[in-house]
Amino acid sequence: MRAMNLVTLVLIIIGGLNWLVMGVVGYDVLGTLFGGTGTPLARLVSVIIGLSAVWQLMPFVQAFSEGEVSAERHIRHH
């Protein structure tokens, strides 16, 4: 599950950076990389990134229900 959390987090960051570029300069990097904004492959990538966001809702909600300390118990503090 930790690997899935890391993969989905990376995909969300990639999607967020794509939105940043779209907002600043109006250029869809992911759409361009995958053959154009409306192509089936570009749409599939968008769906995968969106599903990654849904997956990340689980630890987000868990952080509120368990409290910050319990939700971050796996993080090593120095």
Give the pLDDT confidence of 8-66 residue by residue, as tens digits: 999 999 999 999 999 999 999 999 999 998 899 999 999 999 999 999 998 888 877 76
Domain residue extents for the chain: 2-16+29-71
DSSP string, 8-55: HHHHHHHHHHHHHHHHHH---HHHHHTTSTTSHHHHHHHHHHHHHHHH
| Higher-pLDDT residue of 76, 14 | 14
Q: What pLDDT score does 20 carry?
A: 97
Q: What pLDDT score does 59 carry?
A: 83
Angle formed by the axes of helices 2-25 and 40-66, to 10°?
120
- pTM of the entire structure? 0.75
Q: What pLDDT score does 63 carry?
A: 78
